[in-house]
């Protein structure tokens, strides 16, 4: 219930370059603990623990690259990545915690609503890395210091450039309902992917469920993770993707694979993926160190340059050749509403698409 | 039977541990199977009332199950899938089994090894490989089709994302079950029975019809049954192929019900029809076979006679090669290509070959070592425990050694009806609360694997016992051995190859098991199949290929190593 209150309060406040996430904005700064820097004492304590486990829905190669860069910076600490769709990660942590299994140290979810739930249950540790305090705008950090936006990305459409000519490529969501695209579209699933759940919420809110009902008649290829559609495009298995991760398309395109992004005229869903530490973390110091490291400019820049993500870090630089977020019409994210409607969206979706 | 007084006296002095030991096996089975099943039944007929915090009796879940098209459609799909796969598997496995066991077909040993390779292949890995081969647009076979016929971009030869595609892929990895049962049964039929038939004036076909076929009928029926049940409860292949095709089977539907927000009650209800179907089929098999005796291994040895194929050898070889290319040659080509090619559906050339996927899997992917270690610990432990259990239960039921052996047989067979995924949930419900909090440890996976593999292992051991004439054991019993001693010193050595085959069977099945593991794993107890499934979710085909191929190599190393182990000397590699 507390979350709903936050959401209303925020409606007045939201006005930044990024359509702000309701979860973050709040004047109650006093509740957050003081910011913490990476100190030799923290590194030493983390090294004694020797390992840290990061549950995440970040596309696997990028997640592992981030883990490896952490290990390279802090030798002697192994970072293990537990990667799966955000909705599955959420279910997994719930299942483990219900059985008093505390295996997760740090979590990242592409469904910001999850953080609201975990925070409400009192599972998260208040912890503010120095970079978050100094370089992250208010709308990208929790007022109580429980989490902050590790990553920002969009959920655009895309096409395979060898199968579709640029001038024939769809420009808006309505275009892909044309019967000529029947059997040529790949799409991910909101029951597994937090990105897609968030995007489904925003599209159904701004365009209407009618869009999905008509899309279901297009004989789409249904996959699970939002990371998969860009890969199916690159393989040439389908000509169009109705949704999927922007950063996957960036990576693929910059490797020279025949894919191109479409930012639909109606607006592109905005996805915010916060990071948090669990109170019951088995490796609390390593967890804090990882949390600190992941918000440094270095790690954020790695996520941008190698991974194709976007960052709320004030010092991080966009990579040339990618459309800046300021030039894209965005749909507004609203984690509290996603949290409220999550089960309903999943049910309605599976009734429409039969899977 | 007259037993000399001295022997009776001597036996009376000895402590017979057989009965207490058999009783404890029965008790163990009850815990293994009855506990999770009870939880499932309980969940299927109750609903949690948040107001009073108690569970009330209700049939609402079953009402939903049989009226809601969201459940009725998957049920119908699953039944047609299982029937088609069973028919296809038997149609292919029976002729190959006969060719390999009873004719002079060259390279019969190599063919058996290749069928073993198709058995060792996890069905979900095969499904991924067939995606690479026969996805309508990017599939290698469809690319080849378009390149050779000049067909348009939209046209394709095969679409693996369809019900027939799924039936085909499931059959590819179900037919080895049938093949092994039939080939082993044919191996065991001694020539003297057929010779007798020939001497009495019957021709080749009459002998086949009146002697050989009836003797392999139990194996054939068991094969059809296993193929049907395997197809019905399989989770991996449907999870990979049915979702893109836009339909659910019962197992994928059940799995989706454990995603957030979980609905375990509906899932439990959805699994009970599968249990009922299985029980009915097992009863039917029992009634068809009736009380006929099929002991063919007695105290006298006789080897089977091979039929000369003559010119027929050419079409026979062509047939075998085509069949084996479906589960083995083509998929492994696709996986090999995906492992070393920059994009899975681009053909590898010396110019574009890359070790990136190997590097990623073994250096960057942080779960690889953990998953490999867990998988092999569990494989070895499950195989050893499962074999001993199957041996003892098979003995007790085949020899009707104790009263209530039918209950034992039922308990050992029942898990086959429970989809691994649902057993996973039953075990989850059972072992996340005191007194036995095992969730989060490898123990709960060990219990799952032993329970899941027990039916097939038990069937193998039991049918093996049926081929051994009790006269040998009776001789040992007459000389004063207890039932367990007779089993250990007489029957078990006779069954050495069967025991070994069962061990390998469980080991391999454990390695390829996904459906229970997907419910029971935690991040610390992740196994390779779950890791591959996670990789599949996000479409990392290259890493799947590398991991799958490495797993296959390691599995073969273990299977061959075990077969060469001293003490089992001379046992040849069976088609486990």
Where do the structural domains in chain B lie, given as residue ranges? Answer: 83-247+290-338, 353-576
pLDDT for A7-53, tens place per residue?
433 433 433 434 444 444 444 445 789 999 999 999 999 999 999 99
Closest-CA residue of chain A to B247: A355
Q: What is the CATH number of domain A154-269+339-353?
A: 3.40.190.10
Picking from A87, A183, A222, the nearest residue to B260 by CB comes out as: A87
CB A188 within 8 A of CB A254: no
Q: Tell me which architecture the domain covering B83-247+290-338 has in CATH.
A: Orthogonal Bundle (1.10)
Alpha helices in A160-296, H assignment, sequence order: 194-206, 209-215, 228-235, 246-254, 284-294
CB contact under 8 A, B259 and A82: no
Nearest 5 degrees, angle CA A171-CA A187-CA B333? 120
Mutation site, A83, A121, A344, A351, interface B, largest B CB count within 10 A: A83
Phi and psi torsions of B456, nearest 5°: -65, -40
Q: Do A221 and B541 touch (CB under 8 A)?
A: no
- Of the ranges A29-43, A183-197, A237-251, A267-281, which one carries the lowest mean pLDDT score? A29-43
Q: Which helix (H) or strand (E) holds A262?
A: strand A259-262
Two tokens, residue A107: 């979590």
The answer to whether the CB atoms of B523 and A104 lie below 8 A apart is yes
- Residues of chain A with Cβ-Cβ distance to B136 below 8 Å are 237
Nearest in space to A274 (alpha carbons), one of A36, A37, A58: A58
Q: Do A303 and A309 meet the contact criterion of CB atoms below 8 Å apart?
A: yes
What is the spatial distance between Cα B68 and Cα B78, in angstroms, rounded to a whole number? Answer: 16
pLDDT at A110 over 90: yes
Residue of chain B whose Cα is closest to the Cα of A114: B260
For strand A240-241 and strand A185-187, is the pairing parallel, antiparallel, or unpaired? parallel
Q: Are A199 and A155 a contacting pair, CB within 8 Å?
A: yes
- According to CATH, the topology of domain A2-153+272-323 is D-Maltodextrin-Binding Protein; domain 2 (3.40.190)
pLDDT of residue B285: 76
Contacts with B343 from chain A: Cβ below 8 Å = 234-235, 257
B19 vs B330: CA distance, rounded Å: 52
Can the peptide bond before residue B261 be classed as cis, meaning omega within 30 degrees of 0? Answer: yes
Q: Is the complex ipTM more than 0.95?
A: no
Mutate to test the interface with B, among A103, A221, A247, A290 (most CBs of B within 10 A): A221
Angle between helix A113-120 and helix A335-353 axes, rounded to 10 deg: 120
Report whether B348 contacts B340 (CB < 8 A): yes
In the β-sheet with A51-56, what is the strand arrangement from edge to edge?
Answer: A78-83, A51-56, A106-108, A270-277, A147-154
Question: Are A222 and B246 an interchain contact pair (Cβ–Cβ within 8 Å)?
Answer: yes
Asked if A2-153+272-323 and A154-269+339-353 have one fold, the answer is yes
Q: Of A262 and B558, which is predicted with more confidence?
A: A262
What CATH class is the domain B353-576? mainly alpha
Kindly state the percentage of chain A with pLDDT values over 90.
Answer: 88
- pLDDT in the model for residue A57: 95
Contact B182, B216 (CB under 8 A): yes
Q: Do A235 and B260 touch (CB under 8 A)?
A: no
Candidates A182, A190, A176; CA nearest to A219 is A182
Q: What is the interface size between A and B, counted as CB pairs within 8 Å? A: 131
- What is the structure's pLDDT at B16? 63
Structure tokens at A104: 């997760």
DSSP code at position B341: S
| pLDDT above 60: residue A6 | no
Number of Cα atoms under 13 Å in the Cβ half of residue B500: 23
Q: What is the pLDDT of residue B296?
A: 52
Which chain B residues have a beta carbon less than 8 Å from that of A191? 256, 259
Report H helices in B325-441.
Answer: 330-340, 356-359, 368-398, 405-413, 420-430
> Of the given ranges (A116-130, A185-199, A251-265, B264-278), which has the lowest mean pLDDT?
B264-278
Collapse the DSSP code of B469 into the 3-class scheme (helix H, G, I; strand E, B; otherwise coil) and give the result. Answer: coil
Subunit contact B345:A355, Cβ cutoff 8 A: no
Domain boundaries, chain A: 2-153+272-323, 154-269+339-353
For residue B172, what are its two tokens? Answer: 């590819």
Taking CB atoms and an 8 Å cutoff, what residues of chain B touch A227? 538-539
B295 and B301 Cβ atoms separated by less than 8 Å = no
pLDDT at site B11:
47
In chain B (576 residues long), the average pLDDT of successive 10-residue segments reads 46 59 80 84 87 86 88 92 95 92 89 84 94 94 93 88 96 89 81 80 80 82 86 90 92 84 83 79 74 51 72 93 94 96 88 92 92 95 94 82 75 77 81 81 94 88 80 84 81 83 90 89 91 90 94 87 65 39
């Amino acid at each position: 219930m507390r979350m709903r209150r936050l959401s209303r309060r925020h409606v007045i406040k939201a006005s930044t370059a990024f359509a702000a996430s309701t979860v973050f904005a709040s004047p109650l700064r006093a509740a957050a603990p003081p910011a913490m820097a990476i100190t030799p004492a923290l590194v030493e304590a983390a090294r004694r623990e020797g390992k840290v486990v990061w549950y995440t829905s970040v596309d696997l190669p990028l997640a592992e690259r981030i883990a490896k860069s952490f290990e390279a910076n802090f030798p002697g600490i192994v970072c293990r990545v537990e990667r799966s769709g955000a909705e599955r990660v959420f279910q997994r942590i719930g299942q483990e915690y219900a059985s008093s299994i505390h295996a997760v140290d740090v979590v990242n979810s592409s469904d910001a609503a999850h953080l609201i739930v975990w925070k409400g249950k009192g599972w998260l540790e208040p912890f503010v890395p120095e970079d978050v305090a100094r370089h992250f705008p208010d709308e990208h950090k929790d007022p109580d210091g429980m989490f902050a936006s590790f990553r920002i990305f969009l959920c655009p459409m895309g096409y395979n450039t060898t199968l579709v000519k640029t001038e024939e490529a769809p420009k808006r969501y309505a275009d892909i309902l044309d019967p000529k695209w029947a059997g040529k579209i790949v799409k991910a699933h909101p029951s597994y992917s937090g990105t897609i759940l968030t995007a489904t919420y925003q599209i159904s809110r701004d365009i209407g469920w009618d869009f999905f009902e008509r899309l279901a008649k297009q004989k789409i290829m249904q996959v699970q993770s939002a990371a998969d559609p860009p890969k199916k495009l690159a393989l040439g298995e389908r000509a169009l993707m109705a949704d999927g991760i922007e950063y996957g398309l960036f990576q693929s395109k910059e490797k020279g694979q025949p894919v191109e992004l479409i930012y639909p005229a109606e607006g592109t869903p905005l996805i915010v993926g916060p990071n948090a530490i669990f109170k019951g973390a088995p490796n609390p110091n390593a967890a804090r160190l990882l949390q600190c490291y992941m918000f440094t400019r270095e790690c954020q820049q790695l996520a941008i340059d190698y991974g194709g993500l976007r960052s709320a870090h004030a010092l991080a630089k966009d990579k040339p050749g990618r459309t800046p977020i300021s030039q894209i019409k965005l749909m507004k994210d609203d984690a509290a509403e996603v949290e409220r409607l999550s089960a309903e969206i999943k049910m309605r979706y599976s009734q429409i698409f039969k899977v | 039977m007259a037993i000399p007084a001295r022997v009776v006296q001597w036996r009376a002095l000895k402590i017979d541990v057989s009965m207490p030991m058999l009783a404890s096996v029965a008790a163990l089975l009850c815990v293994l199977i009855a506990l999770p099943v009870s939880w499932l039944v309980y969940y299927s007929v109750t609903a949690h009332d948040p107001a009073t915090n108690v569970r009330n009796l209700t049939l609402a879940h079953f009402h939903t199950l049989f009226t809601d098209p969201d459940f009725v459609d998957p049920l119908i799909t699953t039944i047609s899938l299982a029937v088609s796969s069973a028919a296809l598997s038997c149609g292919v496995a029976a002729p190959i089994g006969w060719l390999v066991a009873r004719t002079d077909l060259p390279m019969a040993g190599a063919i058996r090894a290749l069928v073993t390779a198709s058995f060792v292949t996890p069905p979900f890995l095969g499904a991924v490989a067939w995606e690479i081969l026969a996805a309508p647009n990017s599939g290698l076979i469809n690319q080849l089709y378009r390149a050779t016929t000049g067909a348009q971009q939209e046209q394709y030869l095969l679409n693996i994302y369809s019900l027939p595609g799924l039936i085909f892929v499931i059959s590819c990895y179900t037919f080895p079950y049938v093949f092994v049962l039939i080939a082993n049964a044919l191996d065991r039929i001694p020539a003297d029975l057929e010779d007798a038939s020939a001497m009495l004036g019957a021709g080749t076909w009459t002998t086949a019809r009146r002697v050989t076929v009836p003797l392999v009928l139990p194996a054939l029926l068991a094969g059809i049954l296993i193929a049907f049940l395997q197809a019905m409860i399989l989770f991996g292949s449907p999870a990979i192929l049915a979702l893109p095709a836009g339909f659910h089977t019962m197992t994928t539907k059940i799995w989706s019900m454990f995603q957030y927000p979980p609905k375990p009650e509906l899932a439990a209800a959805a699994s009970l029809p599968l249990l009922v179907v299985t029980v009915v089929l097992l009863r039917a098999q029992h009634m068809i076979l009736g009380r006929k005796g099929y002991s063919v291994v007695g105290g006298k040895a006789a080897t089977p006679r091979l039929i000369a194929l003559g010119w027929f050898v050419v079409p026979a070889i062509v047939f075998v090669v085509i069949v084996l290319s479906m589960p083995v040659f083509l998929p492994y080509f696709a996986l090999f290509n995906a492992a070393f090619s920059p994009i899975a559906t681009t053909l590898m050339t010396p110019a574009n070959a890359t070790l990136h996927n190997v590097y990623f899997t073994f250096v960057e992917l942080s779960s690889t070592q953990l998953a490999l270690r867990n998988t092999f610990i569990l494989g070895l432990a499950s195989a050893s425990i499962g074999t001993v259990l199957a041996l003892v239960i098979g003995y007790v039921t085949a020899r009707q050694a104790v009263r209530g052996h039918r209950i034992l047989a039922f308990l050992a067979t029942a898990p086959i009806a429970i989809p691994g995924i649902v057993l996973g949930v039953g075990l989850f419900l059972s072992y996340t609360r005191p007194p036995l909090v095992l969730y989060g440890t490898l123990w709960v996976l060990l219990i799952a694997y032993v329970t899941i593999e027990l039916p097939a292992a038990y069937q193998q051991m039991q049918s093996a016992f049926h081929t051994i004439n009790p006269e040998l054991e009776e001789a040992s019993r007459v000389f004063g051995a207890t039932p367990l001693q007779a089993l250990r010193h007489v029957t078990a050595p006779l069954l050495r190859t069967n025991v070994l085959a069962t061990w390998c069977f469980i080991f391999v099945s454990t390695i390829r098991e996904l459906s229970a593991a997907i419910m029971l794993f935690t991040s610390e107890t992740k196994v390779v199949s779950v890791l591959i499934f996670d990789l599949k979710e996000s479409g990392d085909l290259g890493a799947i290929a590398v991991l799958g191929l490495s797993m296959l190599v390691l599995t073969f190393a273990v299977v061959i190593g075990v077969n060469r182990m001293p003490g089992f000397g001379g046992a040849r590699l069976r088609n486990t």
